[in-house]
């Protein structure tokens, strides 16, 4: 399947959700996101749509279809790229995971030693261990807010932009951070 065909099939799923009356959508990179929504948020996965690596495209499609709320749910290894303004998240297009982590840790006042350790990591999971050891777990709330800011910047010319939320979780299905309390987001999604 070509990339364009793949994107169109994902967009079609959005169209079906909207036609069924949904006004809020949860975009996830893949199956881990759907499982997290079901198990940790207690939200019906009816609102979940896989976006794969096509974050920008799927957000634009959700806006075109008139969704009033978009919730991005995923592992930092994928969603952190959005905080850097990267809306096609496949690694062959762009990476910048460690650079983004280092930049935002520096903004939060992290010591040079932590910045160096994170910068030398090959995976976000490895970087997350250092972040936790240094007590900088609050970076995930910061990144979630930054992700939403980047989405709103992308949609700055949209007449009525949707509410944007972001939730980051670990591979062991624990909430790492969000732009606002997850229970508030979950409550809105159940309306």
pLDDT per position as a tens digit, 19-53: 999 999 999 999 999 999 999 999 989 999 999 99
Of 94 and 134, the one with more pLDDT: 134
Residues in Cβ contact with 49 at an 8 Å cutoff, skipping those fewer than 6 apart: 10, 13, 14, 17, 25, 26, 27, 28, 58
Number of domains in the chain: 1
Tell me what pLDDT residue 93 has: 84
Q: Is residue 29 part of a domain?
A: yes
Q: Is residue 85 part of a domain?
A: yes
pLDDT single digits (tens) 155-175? 999 999 999 999 999 999 999
Which domain CATH number covers 57? 3.40.1360
Of 3 and 115, the one with more pLDDT: 115
Do the Cβ atoms of 173 and 40 come closer than 8 Å? Answer: yes
What is the average pLDDT across 85-98?
91
Domain that holds residue 151: 3-91+137-189
What is the average pLDDT across 103-127?
98
Q: Is residue 124 part of a domain?
A: no
Q: At what angle are helices 124-133 and 112-119 packed, to 10 degrees? A: 160
Q: Is residue 45 part of a domain?
A: yes
Q: Is residue 113 part of a domain?
A: no
Q: How confident is the model at residue 94 (pLDDT cuts 50, 70, 90)?
A: confident
What is the overall mean pLDDT for the chain? 96
Tell me what pLDDT residue 191 has: 72
How far does CA 183 lie from the centroid of its chain?
Answer: 17
What is the average pLDDT across 55-76?
98
Of 90 and 140, the one with more pLDDT: 140
Find where tokens 């969000």 sit.
Answer: 178
Q: Is residue 158 part of a domain?
A: yes
Q: Is residue 105 part of a domain?
A: no
């Amino acid at each position: 399947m070509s990339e364009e065909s793949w994107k169109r099939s994902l967009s079609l799923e959005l169209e079906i959700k909207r036609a069924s009356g949904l006004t809020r959508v949860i975009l996830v990179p893949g199956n881990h996101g759907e499982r997290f929504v079901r198990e940790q948020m207690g939200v019906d996965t009816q609102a979940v749509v896989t976006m794969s690596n096509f974050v920008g495209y799927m957000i634009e499609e959700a806006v075109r279809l008139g969704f009033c709320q978009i919730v991005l749910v995923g592992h930092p290894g994928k969603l952190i790229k959005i905080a850097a303004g990267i809306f096609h998240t496949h690694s062959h297009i762009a990476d910048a995971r460690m650079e983004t982590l280092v930049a935002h840790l520096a903004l939060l006042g992290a010591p040079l030693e932590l910045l160096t350790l994170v910068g030398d990591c090959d995976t976000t999971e490895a970087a997350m261990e250092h972040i936790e050891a240094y007590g900088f777990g609050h970076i995930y709330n910061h990144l979630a807010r930054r992700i939403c800011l980047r989405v709103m910047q992308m949609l700055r010319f949209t007449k009525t932009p949707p509410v944007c939320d972001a939730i980051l979780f670990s591979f062991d299905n624990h909430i790492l951070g969000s732009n606002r309390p997850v229970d508030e987001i979950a409550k809105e999604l159940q309306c």
